[in-house]
Amino acid sequence: MNRKKLHSPRNRPRGLFITATDTGVGKTVVVAALALALKQKGVNVAVMKPIESGLHSSQPETSDAERLRGLVMPTQALESVSLYRLAHPLAPLAAARMAGVTIDVSSITSAYQELSYHHDLILVEGVGGVMAPISPESTVRDLIRVLGLPSLLVGRAGLGGINHILLGLEALHAHNIEVVGIVFNHSTQEPDSETQKLQHHSTIDLVRELRDVPVFGPLKFEKACQHDWLEGMKLLYTHPSIQNLASHVMERIPYNA
């Protein structure tokens, strides 16, 4: 495939791009909890989810971008946080085509730069996994590279998680994208059988052994998020793994304090 050359913005502040091994692994939960922890530590943080698919028009308040905006920066216009809001629950390129929309990376870059004028650090949440296509010429990985941001990789700790994490790391490192950490997240109920617990622990231990990247988690599954998003996030952001991650981010990323 021939790819158009994408150019990175100059004179950008630093931020962090939160991507994942797959869809549904809990990127939004990680972004929200991390943002609250950073705010608690005095960082003027902003959030973005520039592309979102699978939106429910009857319940716009349940969208990932709206939840992030309402939690972290409620006075900010939703359009500046989420540029492409796509109805169909498909890969972003397919959902954009169904909507008759072309996702423009330069528009996302401009929105990111605009937010950066008023905030110390920007947390940008991706859509789907690292290699999810957002246009015929580019993937989520290309968007990370254009923004010039280091990344945080979110994945599952269950069976198969090692393969997905290692593939995600390979994809990011192949384009010289810095990975500041890996977060293992329980996006559904935590393991209860001894076999499941062994699978989760062994996955995390092997990733630590095989790759020299800081590992955080696994984050607990917070049931409160299912019926009260705000209350659930207030409980989750105090989790030691999130607090440690926030301190790590502040050390690794030269944000504009």
The catalytic residue positions are 49
Handedness of CA 229, 234, 240, 244 (dihedral sign): positive
Could you give the CA distance from residue 109 to residue 130 in angstroms, rounded to a whole number?
18
**CB proximity list for 79: less than 8 A, separation 6 or greater:** none
The DSSP element (H or E) to which 173 belongs, if any, is helix 161-174
Handedness of CA 151, 148, 81, 34 (dihedral sign): positive
Could you give the CA distance from residue 50 to residue 125 in angstroms, rounded to a whole number?
7
Q: For residue 135, what is the DSSP state? A: E
Strand blocks (E) in the chain: 15-20, 45-48, 51-52, 84-85, 121-125, 133-135, 138-139, 151-155, 179-185, 215-219
Cis peptide leading into residue 89 (ω within 30°) = no
